[in-house]
Structure 1
Amino acid sequence: MTAFATVKPSKLSREAFVETFGGVYEHSPWIAEAVFDQGIGEEDDDIERLHARLAQVVRSAPRAARLALIQAHPDLAGKAAVRGELSAASTAEQAGAGIQDCTPEEFARFERLNAAYKTRFGFVFIMAVKGSDRQKILAAFEKRLNNTPEREFAQALAEIDKIALFRLQAI
């Protein structure tokens, strides 16, 4: 069990809780709002416990809400990244994987894979890139293109949960 270093979720007002944790899931403060509305206790000062509660809200959400959560994420090495339009967390995560250092050929490969993936699945490719590099990401992209739509939907949500845990740990 790991506690937050300076933030105690159990001591926050609803507004402060949502401000602090509303971005843990990309552009989806409704998840933090739902957890707060269910009640926050001292046990939620533990990162893993809070993460489990946030993830449970996602799992129990209607499919349309889960799809909207997936679609709230940017393409990896996509046009928004090139234009500097990503959230601060997404920018840091992609930079940590060296995506900004792609060669023109690698960017073109990302663009082709992003397009093929969206055509096949109807949403963006999501991968928790912390601790990875662009070669591993490209390999995962190609492998996951072979998944069934339902398997890939579940994989995207699992990756989002990993990202959320990394973001909680950064808080």
Structure 2
Amino acid sequence: MSPSTSATNAPSLDVQAVNALDREEFVRLLGPVFEHSSWVAAGAVTARPFDSVPSLHRAMIDVVRRLPRTEQIDFLCAHPELAGKEAQSGIMTSDSTTEQASAGLDALAPDELALITRLNDAYRERHGFPFIICVPLYSKQEILDEFRRRTALDTEAELSEAIEQITAITGRRLRALVHDGTRA
């Protein structure tokens, strides 16, 4: 997915339309929901037909949950660090850019950026993957508090927490893209 690609900028679809897509179009439209991981959509396509957005999302998350631990970590490593190199270089996906901006992570003071860089480094050193959080659900201070709390967690517990955060992130992205057919 290129930096300008966005799951939420694609045309809105209903579940019936998603069920009718051919495999290639399904992956093209739904792949961006998962950061640099369109293979998640490719793995979920065989679970059709979906009766709702939650059932579609569950099928996609199940693809991730069925991965061996090492592949789950590789999947997590496809995600950008908060206010990290990708953000500083302007190469994050549109969705990640918008999400990080929602908590002011795109306009950090130099001391805040230095703090988040230290927190990113400590977290990755401890767990082996980037800190992942559903940014729109937290304030900047809550994110900093979560960084500290979650860095101290056992890595297995944190792996589970990171996948739960991705579940929240992708659920929001998917609901922005697909609806159950009840929208006007």
Q: One fold, TM greater than 0.5?
A: yes
| Alpha-carbon distance in 1 for matches of 2:137, 2:124 | 25
- Partner letter of residue 103 of structure 1? A
Q: CA deviation at 1:167?
A: 0.7
Distance 1:39 1:152, change over 3 A: closer
Shift of 1:133: 2.1
Shift of 1:32: 0.6
> Which residue number in structure 2 is paired with residue 6 of structure 1?
13
Shift of 1:60: 0.9
Partner in structure 1 of residue 28 of structure 2:
19
Shift of 1:24: 1.1
Corresponding position: 1:121 with 2:130: no
Paired residue secondary structure (2:34): coil
Aligned positions of 1:48-63 closer than 5 A: 48-63=54-69
SS in 1 for 2:153: coil
Task: Give the direction of change, closer, same or farther, for the CA distance of 1:146–1:39 in structure 2 (3 Å limit).
Answer: closer
Partner of 2:41: 32
Aligned to 2:104: 98
Residues paired across the two proteins, number: 165
Gaps of 5+ in 2: 1-10, 178-184
Q: Deviations over 1:62-103 (max 9, x none)?
A: 222211110000000112101111011111110112111211
Give the AA of the match of 2:40: I
Deviations 1:134-162 (A, max 9, x none): 11111100111110011111111111111
1:11–1:142 Cα change, 3 Å: same
Secondary structure of the structure 1 residue equivalent to 2:141 = helix
Where in structure 1 do 4 or more consecutive aligned residues deviate above 2 Å?
A: 4-8
Which structure ranks higher in relative contact order (CA pairs < 8 Å, sequence separation ≥ 6)? 2
Cα RMSD (Å) of the superposition?
1.4
Match of 2:167 in 1: 161
By how many angstroms is 1:47 displaced? 1.2
Identity of aligned residues (%): 38
* Ranges in structure 1 where 5+ consecutive residues have no aligned partner: none
Q: Which amino acid aligns with 1:10?
A: N
